[in-house]
Chain A
């Protein structure tokens, strides 16, 4: 059974701080890793993908992958109240469907 684990939160950070979201996965064959953002009442929106070990930066977002530790994280710099949402980690192997974690609820306090 493939599992993706996330701390459900809520994770509260002050505006302007760095938010750090973490995810672990059980399947060592996983090859592709994604972070989705979901606002309340909306569908998930893809914000980052990462496929190889190391860091990948896109604006205020940085995804980090460590396959040896089966760990993927998302850093949000200069957090804004508009970043308040649930962040879903998803992984997949090859052409299989995405497996999602339960999500971490982030609250950015102004």
Chain B
């Protein structure tokens, strides 16, 4: 059964700092990994989707990497801003092939202090 772990559970940093969020998954037979952002009381916003054939994806100040063999992904946020404060979730398909549903971690709650 696919399990996703995110560390740290919470992170507080001063504005301007670069930071890394970690995600690990138990079954490396995935075909993609997706990072989401969730603001309090809101739904999820897709940030980046990495296909299994890719090693990384970039969008603005965000860079996500994927190492399937070790079952790990990182989300790098450059020059953090108070507006980046949110919970960040990573998600992968389950162990069974051919399913489109997602298995989520519990998320990392990020606070960027001005």
The answer to whether A binds B is: no
